[in-house]
């Protein structure tokens, strides 16, 4: 196990983490500002990927497709917020979970109706195809570097938005005291719609960027949704900073764990059972991490009590 | 007098002609995956089966969606057996669902014809006289891939599959036939779509070839990322990641990859030509191996119905066992554990005009059965 390989796996972990961040930032914002548990967040990931595949198929441009994923998911977010989600803010969490779970089923079947049950094709642009030598012995996928870069740019953008703009002030105020800011004359329902659409569009962008190297298919959002929940629990619910650090932590732990645990176990066991045991424990690692963090800090790394 | 004998002869003939003898109806319950991830497979099996039984007035089919969940599949099977009174069940795609449904079904005296899942348990110790697998035993295509790897001169393979029973069957199957050494062996998470970490391991391992079993969306991700990584190793796998429904989504990254399958669009026989043509005109797309399995299941059922009445279970079972139907795969028979003996081909992904599809390059394993026959005491 060379240090070059270790560094490459570290990069893979960070890349996975930045994608998780795009998902969990929206999720944690929506929970922090509106107090809504949105299980249907993964569906926006799927909607983004399908919008991108549709536009890429029509125009052949990856960049237009990325734009389409942002706007497609944002439009879907606005519509769904106005028609359904708006009625859920005052209800308790169980109602929200039930209703947004129903949304997952509706949206998945809706997408299947429109696009069929077979996976769609979405490719990365040709100038990001291939690899880039970043160190002497280390070559790394250009597209994955692009994903890391995008992730950190968006994290920076969100930081500016939350701390330096008027909208950001309102979002922070909304997190602290919902009644007070509506009493101050802020149109709270418009603010909620904007936050929801923002979260949805980030998820949609993640879906398109990942869809291009994985697969664009119905139900693609649910596995990543579970991880996004793990991230926001680790990071502290409502905290964007927590979401960023939690994402990177989960991404790196997952990647490093599932690769190196079997290798370590091979010292004690015969190879094929070491692989099987190691990968089983490897896939549990992030949940073990979550449990440990919750024992030490019950409200997550950056959560308020 | 002569007239009378001819009439009599004709009557005797007619009574032995199955069409006239057994006008009884057979009710089929089809439980398959029609929604959510993986529904492409279920839809293909259903469409293939419905095409085979199309126009047959003696067969009625109830189709239900199992959503890829074992508990739902079990509920559907109970309902179909108890209130719909079906005679034959079929349709299940996934091995874990088959393990949940098949034993109870066959123990209640119903027939189960598997159009896809073939877990080793149901082929070996858990085999049953009323269970027939019309597709393959799970290990089969992987065994052929191992055989192909030898003939292609691979000496040092890197192998990977998801960490679940069919994934373990896959690596076992490959290792059973592959004579070279292993550069690495990885079990990935079931449903995992990102293989950056595994691909880095492959690059560092010094392997001369890669074998992978990653069905459905998992394989799409792997193939795309593998081709983007710039690693130029030959790849071999079972047909599940290269079937007609998936190739479109993988794109050019799949071109030239060798994969093993018991069926291919270009197998040269009349039944297959008719199947491919009819499927295309009925559904407007090319069939996949799953569709061919559904189709053969339908044809097998029809062949048994023409020989025996479903009420006479023993005779009907014998009729099924004969497998006297024109398979799209050409030669097809059942071994004593009711799993197929058939040729397994090596295919290559090619481009026909604008459509990616497969072409047979050689026969991987001839008249291949499975490793569990001796464990099955029926």
pLDDT digits (tens, 9 = 90+) for B139-164: 999 999 999 999 999 999 999 998 87
Mean pLDDT on B90-105: 94
Mean pLDDT on A85-111: 92
Least confident span in A30-34, B3-7, B358-362: B3-7
A residues 114-153 closer than 8 Å to B (CB): 117-121, 123-124, 129-131, 139, 141, 143-144
- Summarize pLDDT for A238-257 with one digit per residue, the tens: 889 999 999 999 999 999 98
B226 domain residue, yes or no: yes
Q: Searching chain B, which residue's CA lies closest to the CA of residue A118?
A: B40
Residue A110 clears pLDDT 70, i.e. is over it: yes
A259 domain residue, yes or no: no
Distance of CA B69 to the CA centre of its chain: 19
**In A, which residues are within 8 Å of B37 by CB distance?**
217-220
- Give the C-alpha separation, B339 to B337, whole Å: 6
Residues B271, B331, single domain; the answer is yes
Find the helix or strand (DSSP H, E) in which A63 lies: helix A62-83
B276 domain residue, yes or no: yes
Is A253 in a helix, a strand, or coil? helix
Residue B12 clears pLDDT 90, i.e. is over it: no
> Nearest-5° angle of CA B318, CA B320, CA B322?
75
B38 domain residue, yes or no: yes
Mean pLDDT on A49-64: 94
Q: With an 8 Å Cβ cutoff, is B363 touching chain A?
A: no
CATH code for the domain in which residue B74 is found: 3.40.50.2300
Pairwise CB contact (< 8 Å): A119 & B246: yes
Residues B206, B348, single domain; the answer is yes
B211 domain residue, yes or no: yes
Measure CB to CB from residue B40 to each of A12, A118, A272 and give the nearest one: A118
**In B, which residues are within 8 Å of A143 by CB distance?**
228
**In B, which residues are within 8 Å of A118 by CB distance?**
40, 245-246, 248-249
Q: With an 8 Å Cβ cutoff, is B189 touching chain A?
A: yes
Q: Work out the minimum CA distance from B373 to partner chain A, whole angstroms.
A: 25
Domain that holds residue A140: 9-123+134-220
> How many structural domains are present in chain A?
1
Q: Work out the minimum CA distance from B229 to partner chain A, whole angstroms.
A: 6
> How many structural domains are present in chain B?
2
**In B, which residues are within 8 Å of A14 by CB distance?**
none
Residue B16 clears pLDDT 50, i.e. is over it: no
Residue B15 clears pLDDT 60, i.e. is over it: no
Pairwise CB contact (< 8 Å): A123 & B197: no
- Summarize pLDDT for A185-214 with one digit per residue, the tens: 888 889 999 999 999 999 999 999 999 998
A212 domain residue, yes or no: yes
- Summarize pLDDT for B314-352 with one digit per residue, the tens: 999 999 999 999 999 999 999 999 999 999 999 999 999
Residues B223, B351, single domain; the answer is yes
pTM for the predicted model, two decimal places: 0.82
A1 domain residue, yes or no: no
Residues B208, B315, single domain; the answer is no
A292 domain residue, yes or no: no
Residues B77, B157, single domain; the answer is no
**Of A110, A113, A120, nearest in space to A211 by CA:** A120
- Summarize pLDDT for B280-324 with one digit per residue, the tens: 999 999 999 999 999 999 999 999 999 999 999 999 999 999 999
Pairwise CB contact (< 8 Å): A218 & B37: yes
**In A, which residues are within 8 Å of B194 by CB distance?**
16, 210, 213-214
Mean pLDDT on A245-270: 89
Q: What is the pLDDT of residue B23?
A: 58
Q: With an 8 Å Cβ cutoff, is A273 touching chain B?
A: no
Q: What is the pLDDT of residue B112?
A: 97
A168 domain residue, yes or no: yes
Pairwise CB contact (< 8 Å): A123 & B224: yes
Residue B7 clears pLDDT 70, i.e. is over it: no
- Summarize pLDDT for A130-168 with one digit per residue, the tens: 888 887 778 888 999 999 999 999 999 999 999 999 999
In chain A, pLDDT over 90 holds for what percent of residues?
60
Residues B187, B56, single domain; the answer is no
Q: With an 8 Å Cβ cutoff, is B23 touching chain A?
A: no
A104 domain residue, yes or no: yes
Band the pLDDT of B215: cuts 50, 70, 90. confident
The most confident of B94-108, B188-202, B214-228, by mean pLDDT = B94-108
Each as own residue / partner, the long-range contacts of residues B149-153 (CB below 8 Å, 24 or more positions apart, any chain) are B149/B174, B149/B177, B149/B178, B149/B180, B149/B209, B149/B211, B149/B236, B150/B177, B150/B178, B150/B179, B150/B180, B151/B362, B152/B209, B152/B234, B152/B236, B152/B258
Measure CB to CB from residue A219 to each of B37, B186, B229 and give the nearest one: B37
Residue B1 clears pLDDT 70, i.e. is over it: no
Q: Are A239 and A28 in contact (CB under 8 A)?
A: yes
Q: Work out the minimum CA distance from A15 to partner chain B, whole angstroms.
A: 9
- Give the C-alpha separation, B157 to B337, whole Å: 32
Q: Work out the minimum CA distance from A235 to partner chain B, whole angstroms.
A: 23
Residue B18 clears pLDDT 80, i.e. is over it: no
Residues B38, B112, single domain; the answer is yes
B126 domain residue, yes or no: yes
Q: What is the pLDDT of residue B161?
A: 93
B8 domain residue, yes or no: no
Is A98 in a helix, a strand, or coil? helix
Residues B130, B221, single domain; the answer is no
Residue B203 clears pLDDT 50, i.e. is over it: yes
Q: What is the pLDDT of residue B21?
A: 43
Q: What is the pLDDT of residue B10?
A: 52
Residues B208, B74, single domain; the answer is no
Q: Work out the minimum CA distance from B91 to partner chain A, whole angstroms.
A: 17
Residues B222, B350, single domain; the answer is yes
Domain that holds residue B173: 140-261+344-368
A300 domain residue, yes or no: no
B333 domain residue, yes or no: yes
B313 domain residue, yes or no: yes
User: How many CB pairs below 8 A link A and B?
Assistant: 121
Mean pLDDT on B233-261: 91
Pairwise CB contact (< 8 Å): A262 & B197: no
Residues B120, B163, single domain; the answer is no
Residues B173, B222, single domain; the answer is yes
Band the pLDDT of B3: cuts 50, 70, 90. low
Q: What is the pLDDT of residue A118?
A: 79
Q: What is the pLDDT of residue B100?
A: 94
Q: What is the pLDDT of residue B228?
A: 87
**In A, which residues are within 8 Å of B193 by CB distance?**
210, 214-215, 220, 223
Band the pLDDT of A217: cuts 50, 70, 90. confident
**In B, which residues are within 8 Å of A287 by CB distance?**
none
Q: What is the pLDDT of residue A194?
A: 94
């Amino acid at each position: 196990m060379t240090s070059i390989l270790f560094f490459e796996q570290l990069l893979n972990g960070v890349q996975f983490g930045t994608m998780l961040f795009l998902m969990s930032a929206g999720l944690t914002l929506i929970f922090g500002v509106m107090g809504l548990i949105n299980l249907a967040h993964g569906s926006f990931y799927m909607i983004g990927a399908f919008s991108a595949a549709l536009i890429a198929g029509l125009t052949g441009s990856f960049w237009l497709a990325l734009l389409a994923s942002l706007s497609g998911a944002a439009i879907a977010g606005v519509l769904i917020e106005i028609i359904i989600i708006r009625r859920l803010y005052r209800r308790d969490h169980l109602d929200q979970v039930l209703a947004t779970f129903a949304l997952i089923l509706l949206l998945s079947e809706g997408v299947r109706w429109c696009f069929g049950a077979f996976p769609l094709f979405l490719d990365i642009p040709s100038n990001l195809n291939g690899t880039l030598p970043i160190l002497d012995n280390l070559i790394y996928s250009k597209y994955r570097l692009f994903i890391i870069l995008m992730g950190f740019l968006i994290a920076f953008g969100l930081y500016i938005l939350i701390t330096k703009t008027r909208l950001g002030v309102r979002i922070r105020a909304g997190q602290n005291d919902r009644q007070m800011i509506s009493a101050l004359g802020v149109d709270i329902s418009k603010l909620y719609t904007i936050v929801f659409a923002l979260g949805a569009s980030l998820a949609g962008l993640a879906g398109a960027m990942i869809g291009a190297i994985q697969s664009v298919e119905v139900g693609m959002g649910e596995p990543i949704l579970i991880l996004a929940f793990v991230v926001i629990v680790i990071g502290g619910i409502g905290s964007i900073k927590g979401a960023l650090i939690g994402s990177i932590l989960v991404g790196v732990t997952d990647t490093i764990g599932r690769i190196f645990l079997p290798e370590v176990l091979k010292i004690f066991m015969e190879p094929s059972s070491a692989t099987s045991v190691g990968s089983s424990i490897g896939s549990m690692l992030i949940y073990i991490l979550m449990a440990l963090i919750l024992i030490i800090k019950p409200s997550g790394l950056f959560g308020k009590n | 007098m002569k007239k009378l004998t001819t009439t009599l002869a004709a009557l005797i003939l007619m009574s032995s002609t199955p069409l006239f003898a057994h006008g009884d109806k057979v009710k089929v319950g089809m439980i398959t995956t029609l929604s959510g991830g993986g529904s492409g497979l279920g839809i293909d099996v259903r469409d293939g089966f419905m095409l085979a039984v199309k126009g047959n007035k003696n067969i009625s089919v109830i189709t239900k969606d199992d959503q890829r969940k074992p508990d739902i599949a079990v509920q559907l099977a109970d309902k179909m057996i108890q209130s719909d009174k079906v005679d034959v069940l079929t349709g299940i795609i996934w091995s874990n669902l088959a393990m949940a449904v098949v034993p109870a079904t066959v123990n209640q005296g119903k027939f189960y014809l598997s159009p896809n899942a073939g877990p080793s348990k149901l082929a070996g110790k858990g085999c049953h006289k009323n269970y027939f697998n019309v597709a393959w035993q799970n290990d089969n295509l992987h065994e052929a891939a191992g055989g192909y790897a030898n003939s292609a001169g691979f000496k040092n393979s890197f192998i990977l599959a998801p960490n679940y029973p069919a994934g373990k069957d896959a690596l076992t199957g490959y290792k059973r036939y592959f004579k070279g050494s292993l550069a690495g062996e990885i079990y990935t998470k079931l449903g995992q779509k990102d293989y950056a970490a595994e691909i880095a391991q492959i690059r560092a391992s010094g392997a001369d070839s890669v074998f992978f079993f990653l069905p459905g969306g998992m394989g799409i991700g792997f193939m795309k990322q593998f081709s983007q990584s710039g690693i130029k190793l030959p790849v071999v796998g079972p047909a599940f990641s290269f079937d007609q429904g998936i190739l479109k989504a993988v794109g050019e990254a799949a071109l030239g990859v060798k994969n093993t399958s018991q069926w291919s669009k270009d197998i040269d026989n009349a039944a297959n030509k008719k199947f491919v043509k009819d499927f295309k005109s009925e559904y407007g797309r090319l069939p996949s191996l799953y569709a061919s399995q559904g189709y053969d299941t339908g044809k097998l059922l029809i062949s048994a119905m023409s020989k025996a009445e479903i009420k006479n279970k023993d005779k009907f079972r014998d009729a099924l066992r004969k497998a006297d139907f024109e398979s799209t795969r050409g030669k097809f028979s059942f071994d004593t554990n009711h799993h197929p003996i058939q040729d397994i081909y090596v295919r290559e992904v090619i481009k026909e005009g604008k459509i990616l599809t497969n072409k047979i390059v050689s026969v991987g394993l001839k008249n291949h059965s499975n490793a569990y026959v001796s464990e099955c005491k029926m």
